Amino acid sequence: MEKSATEGIYENMSKASKAFFSGESTKKFAAWYVDTAERLANEFLDMQATATGWAKETPLAPIFEAQNDLGRKFVKRSAEAARKVWQIEA
C-alpha cells in the first residue's frame, strides 16, 4: 500500500508541475507581468509629472515635458515589444 501512496504523490506532483509550467500558464504570467510593469511605470511617470509641475512657467518646463514624453514612449514601446515576444494581447 505504501508503494501506491508514494506513486500517487509523485503523480500528483507531476500533474501540478505540468500545469504550473505549461505554456499557457507561463504566457498568462508574462501577460500579467508586462501589464503590471507598464502600469507601474506609467504611474511613476504621472508622479514625476506632478512633482515637476512647479516648473510650468519656467524655462525648465520644456525639458521636463520632453523627459516625460520620452519616458512614456519608452514604456509603451517596451511593453509592445514584450507582448510581441510573448505573443500576448494588450
Q: Domain range holding 71? A: 23-86
16 domain residue, yes or no: no
Q: Which sign, positive or negative, has the C-alpha torsion 6, 10, 16, 19?
A: negative
Q: Is residue 75 within 8 Å of residue 42, measured between CB atoms? A: yes
Rounded to two decimals, what is the model's pTM? 0.73
pLDDT by 10s per residue, the chain, length 90: 455 667 777 777 777 667 666 778 889 999 999 999 999 999 999 999 999 999 999 999 999 999 999 999 999 999 999 999 999 987
Integer Cα distance of 71 and 40 in angstroms: 13
Looking at the 3D structure of the chain, how many domains does it have?
Answer: 1
Q: Would residue 76 count as lying in a domain?
A: yes
Does some domain include residue 60? Answer: yes
Asked if the structure places residue 38 within a domain, the reply is yes
